[in-house]
Amino acid sequence: MNRTGTYDYKDPKGYEIDYGLLQDFERHLNTSSPESNPIPCSVLGYGEISTVFEINAEGMRGLAFKRMSVFEAAGELSQYIQTYQMYNRVLEEEIGIHMPPHGHAALENKAHRPIFYIIQEKISPDSIGNNAIHLLPREEIKNLFHWVLRELGKIWAHNQSQPDCLVGIDGQISNWVIDDFDASQPNLGEDTVLAYIDTSTPFLRLQGAEQMDPELFLRSAPRTLAWILRSFFLQDVLDRYYDFRRVVIDLVANFYKEQRPDLVPDLLEAANEFFEEEMGELAIKPIEEKEVRDYYREDALIWRLYLNMRRLDCFLYTKVLRQEYPYILPGKIKR
């Protein structure tokens, strides 16, 4: 991104932001109390390694800023940006996954640590999949789920035809947006378009080599825990995003987290029919409900323990070492 704040990757609408204001926002950011920033802001959402802000200042309104602070050196960030750009291009131009207009900014925080912001148009919360499933009629939720499966199917069709360029994805329902969704008339039409909004973790393997540094996944983990995750869990976590069946298990299990367990049996039936009728060449084994339920319980337990360890790490940073904790922790997550 250049110093005027113009997007340097994708700029279909000619967006410009005040780069200096974004730099000031970052320099004043208190990771323990992010909304206390003297530049008015609100937190729109949290990820495992990111936080999404709305900055309520001239030239910034109507945009969402996803902040990533896992980088320790400029070279690390530079390599990530190359992979991020390639991932976006392959998803959109080669596979045909629709994404909203977006750009990015790279800067430093007050400790001279590289910080990366992904910038998108702010999206109506009702149009995001995990909110829409509480507004749509049951049959329409099944239609939405089927459309997500078809979008995911495009990726595995690509992977079958281009094994030297494998693409992975986090297919959770919260990563999909319904274009032009009207919450007052929550229905889907034949021309409804889904957009994918979470490209901050660029799952891309070229000739078998992971293009994103896997260590970035561990950067926010407490140091005492990182070696355990690296030794026993990291490769398995990475691999599941390249496995169609496991991505769909994660997608269905996500409905437990989103407080819609009543939908799971219907969604599993739809998923298994999709595997057989539309992706038969992959010979995917049908998914059973117990498998999804067990997966969710294990995943929820792991993330609960992980978050508690991070909170302990934050306490040690701020109260014992008297240092600023470099990451922003999410609030209570309902599971």
Distance separating the N- and C-terminal Cα atoms of the chain = 38
Residue 2: pLDDT band by 50, 70, 90 thresholds? very low
Task: Identify the pLDDT of residue 324.
Answer: 84
Determine whether 196 is exposed, middle or buried from the number of CB atoms within 10 Å of its CB (0-12, 13-18, 19+).
buried
- How far is 201 from 49, CA to CA, in rounded Å? 9
Percentage of residues in the chain with pLDDT exceeding 70?
94
pLDDT score recorded for residue 240: 94
Does the pLDDT at position 129 exceed 80?
A: yes
Q: Pick left, alpha or beta for residue 275 (phi over 0 → left; psi -120 to 50 → alpha; otherwise beta).
A: alpha
- Rounded to the nearest angstrom, the gap between the alpha carbon of residue 224 and the centroid of all alpha carbons in its chain is 26
Q: What is the mean pLDDT of residues 96-115?
A: 91
Asked whether the predicted pLDDT for residue 175 surpasses 90, the reply is yes
Q: Which two tokens stand for residue 73?
A: 């050196």
Bridge-based pairing of strands 63-68 and 165-167 is: unpaired
190 confidence band (pLDDT: 50, 70, 90): confident
Residue 191: which pLDDT band, with cuts at 50, 70 and 90?
Answer: confident
Q: Which pLDDT value is given to residue 333?
A: 63
pLDDT in tens, 272-326: 999 999 999 999 999 999 999 999 998 888 888 888 888 889 888 899 888 888 8
From 158-167, 230-239, 285-294, the region with the lowest mean pLDDT: 230-239
Say what the pLDDT of residue 5 is.
Answer: 42
Residue 4 has pLDDT above 90, yes or no: no
**CATH of 19-121 among 3.40.50.920, 3.90.226.10, 3.40.50.10540, 3.30.200.20:** 3.30.200.20
- Place 105 in a pLDDT band, splitting at 50, 70 and 90: very high
Q: Is pLDDT of 6 > 90?
A: no
DSSP of 141-180: HHHHHHHHHHHHHHHHHHHHH-TTEEE-----GGGEEETT
Structure tokens at 285: 């084994």
Lowest mean pLDDT among 7-11, 44-48, 151-155: 7-11
Contact assessment for residue 201 and residue 213, using Cβ atoms and an 8 Å cutoff: no
The whole-number pLDDT of residue 300 equals 85
pLDDT tens per residue, range 31-63: 989 999 999 999 999 877 789 999 999 989 899
Please give the pLDDT value at position 15: 60
What is the band of 132 on the pLDDT scale with cuts at 50, 70, 90? Answer: very high
Q: Mean pLDDT across the chain, nearest whole number? A: 90
Return the structure tokens found at 40.
């008015």
List the domain boundaries for the chain. 19-121, 125-320
Distances in Å between the alpha carbon of 327 and those of 22, 24, 269? 18, 18, 40
Report which of residues 327 and 264 the model is more confident about: 264
Instruction: Indicate left, alpha or beta for 73 from its phi (over 0: left) and psi (-120 to 50: alpha).
Output: beta
CA 240 to each of CA 179, 236, 246, 247: distance values in angstroms, whole numbers, following the listed order: 28, 6, 6, 6
pLDDT band of 266, cuts 50, 70, 90: very high
